[in-house]
Amino acid sequence: MKRSPFLSASRPGSVRLIPVRSLRLQLLAWVVLPLAGLLAVNLWTSRNSAIATADLVTDRMLLGSAKAIAEQVSMTDGVLDATVPPAAIELFDTGDRDSVYYRVETAEGRLLTGYPDLPIPPPKSSRSIEAAYRGQLLRLRAYRHPIIGAGEDSPVRVTVGITLAGHDAMVRRLWLNAFLQQLMLVVIAGVFVLLGLRRGLAPLLKLRDAVRSRKKTDLSPFSVPEVQSEILPLVDALNAYMGRVQAQMAAQRRFVANAAHQLRTPLALLSTQASYALREKGSEAREEALLALQTSTRRLARLAEQLLTLSRAEPGSRRPRADRIDLMAEARQVLEDHAPIAVKHRIDLGLDGSGTVIVGGDATMLREMIVNLVDNALRYTPEGGSVTVRVAEEGGMALLSVSDNGPGIPAAEREHVFERFYRIAGSEEHGSGLGLAIVREVADNTRGRVTLSDTPGGGLTVEVSLPLARS
């Protein structure tokens, strides 16, 4: 349970990423980031398809242009004549200032018209190529056209090339449209996520405000109408928790009221004894009253101590401890402290057991438990009686038992005597009714058990079994 000072001193987030705690941001990220990823993939494919479309369109235009040029090649007076029709060039006038190049040649490669150095696609290729020409990238397409009567010059090959400005503009136009549409989609999705969250989170925020604005003392259950079925368990758990806190506080209040109540009679006694002593003129009677006053004061101090012990035994009031303590040594110490009282009342006080019996737990509380056990036993044992404390290891548990030969506790009372301030009716001893409550609560906190039984021959035996400390 110990926290390393280094860990608590380091600022969270200085090393690792600050985790996103906002539900809104988390949900938004979960919706928008995958959408953006999809958008990227989609943009890539749509760019490809835009390029393919532009390629196709350009190629058709190149082919159409080449065919138009080829149609105009004819045999005139036995000579091949190639005249480029203006329509074949105007076809490309899309407003992007593209330059058109062409080259018409015979089957043997004799140039009929056009640019002699224009690159030509490889023979037999029916597809377009892209090649650099005069510092610009061109898309080129060749077309073979048979000319009747041209003999060996047939077929002529017409190659048309065009710069890519129009092509690229078309790609951009096609792609930009798709991009804008999809971007719109993501933005709209984001807006709807935010709106949905706003609506969906409203009950949760209402709950938050309700919790935040609660007075410290108000522990009544929260009621949040229109809360979703997913959040309902949270509200229920919160209310159940508040219920437990309320019960705990009520128990605490009862105890404090009870404690105040229990202090009143001893205080009245102190006050009476003091008044008596003040008025008494005879020195003997006065001394008697003062001695009685002293005894009452001690008893009241012991009661205060027991109350303090009980409040310490309260869950959460002390940090859980796992001291290793030797029951044997503690018992011996307590018995030594109580020996004078035992001698005074001629009670045979004995310790039974040897070696060490180590248990784990809160040393102060365990010691207080033994003190209360021994104190109780001595209190209820008549003059000349005996009290035996036994410490042993049995069945994997540490065992501490205190036997007296006092009046014992009737079976019907045995469950009640562990209640705080419970006193057996008609009991004349000056017990506070807290001793066994302390024993039970300390044992519970140490995961132990307390049982009451009869001492053979009469009297009470209180047996506490505690888990042994792990070695």
Partner 1 sequence: MRLLLVEDNQELASWLARTLRQAQYTVDVVHDGEEAEHALAVGEHALVILDLSLPKRSGLDVLRELRARGNAVPVIVLTANASLDGRVRGLDQGADDYLAKPFEIEELEARIRAHLRRASNRAETVIACGDLVFDTNTRMFTLAGETLGLTPREHAVLEQLVLKAGRAVSKGALSGAIYDFDTDADPSAIEIYVHRLRKKLEGSRVEIVTLRGLGYLIRHEA
| Binding of partner 1 by 268 (CB under 8 A) | yes
User: Taking contact as CB under 8 A, which single stretch among the options 46-54, 256-264, 351-359, 405-413 is the one that binds partner 1?
Assistant: 256-264
| Binding of partner 1 by 262 (CB under 8 A) | yes
For residue 330 the two structure tokens come to 């503690």
Which backbone phi and psi does 349 adopt, to 5 degrees?
A: -105, 120
| Binding of partner 1 by 275 (CB under 8 A) | yes
Is residue 66 within 8 A of residue 143, CB to CB? The reply is yes
Task: Give the 3-state secondary structure of residue 156.
Answer: strand
At closest approach, how far in Å is the CB of 399 from partner 1? Answer: 35
Q: How far apart are CA 104 and CA 89, in angstroms?
A: 14
User: Taking contact as CB under 8 A, which single stretch among the options 165-173, 227-235, 274-282, 436-444 is the one that binds partner 1?
Assistant: 274-282
User: Taking contact as CB under 8 A, which single stretch among the options 181-189, 192-200, 268-276, 315-323 is the one that binds partner 1?
Assistant: 268-276
Q: Count H helices and E strands in the chain, helices first.
A: 9, 14
At closest approach, how far in Å is the CB of 294 from partner 1? Answer: 13
| Binding of partner 1 by 430 (CB under 8 A) | yes
Q: How far apart are CA 137 and CA 133, in angstroms?
A: 6
Cis peptide leading into residue 225 (ω within 30°)? no
Count of Cβ atoms closer than 10 Å to residue 166 Cβ: 21
| Binding of partner 1 by 276 (CB under 8 A) | yes
User: Taking contact as CB under 8 A, which single stretch among the options 269-277, 361-369, 401-409, 459-467 is the one that binds partner 1?
Assistant: 269-277
Among 51, 107, 120, 269, binds partner 1 (CB under 8 A): 269
For residue 418 the two structure tokens come to 């562990």
Report angle CA 462, 468, 469 to the nearest 5 degrees: 135
At closest approach, how far in Å is the CB of 434 from partner 1? Answer: 16
Nearest Cα neighbor of 152 from 72, 67, 70, 75 is 75
Is residue 68 within 8 A of residue 88, CB to CB? The reply is yes
Q: Binding string, 287-306, against partner 1, x = CB under 8 A?
A: --x--x---x----------
How many residues interact with partner 1 (rule CB under 8 A)? Answer: 22
| Binding of partner 1 by 169 (CB under 8 A) | no
| Binding of partner 1 by 428 (CB under 8 A) | yes
Nearest Cα neighbor of 361 from 410, 304, 400 is 400
Task: Give the 3-state secondary structure of residue 401.
Answer: strand
Nearer to partner 1, 265 or 354 (CB): 265
At closest approach, how far in Å is the CB of 293 from partner 1? Answer: 9
Question: Which positions lie near partner 1, rule CB under 8 A?
Answer: 261-262, 264-265, 267-273, 275-276, 279-280, 289, 292, 296, 425-426, 428, 430
